[in-house]
Structure 1
């Protein structure tokens, strides 16, 4: 690698940092490629810098996170207490939101509260009506307390 001089654009001098960068880059490439599973390592074939490999991995996994986030958001919208206990329903809703937060795809807590209220079903219509008619909506922790109190 070379760097351009200030005096003449046509003249270039060797970049003294290139050898150090190259050595460190090769070490990182080696670490990355030897720690990946075989199927993931195949995605990185043809990339010769650590940045190129990292960018490839980021694109691959971010696409999976987008698909996962969409599926999780659909699960939240489809939340239904059904035959499970209120506690199980609330834990499931909270788990979905926690996973969304982990992959940095979470929405406002209000979405969790609305989805939870919607998913409780007809046995909780009085509670849902009371909470939605008297804004603001409670946060999830307060909602959980109110549902458990209502259930008692």
Structure 2
């Protein structure tokens, strides 16, 4: 990685490397492939009730593309569509979706442990603290 990159590009480059590592390791241990967008969508659902439109906005893709992703995940048994009291449609994880999220977290914890072995526990703690701060007013 180039040492003359600014902080935004450094974080972006590291994110790409880490996402690719997670995806490659997932493919090595699982038969069913999960795309980056599908993984993001499942993770967002696990975090709490969220609309397809909001996930699309956060992922910077069209609502139509995210809806297509959601329908594909529904067909594959990872999520189901639910209508709430206000007649709003949203998604819930199925048992298969919850299992994917659990195993995905385990994989990420394993990778984080490897990173911690290189950077040190204190640096990981500090990095997490810095990443959780609001940087821009």
Check whether TM > 0.5.
no
| TM-score relative to the length of structure 1 | 0.23
Larger Rg: 1
Q: Which has the higher contact order (CA 8 A, sep 6+)?
A: 2
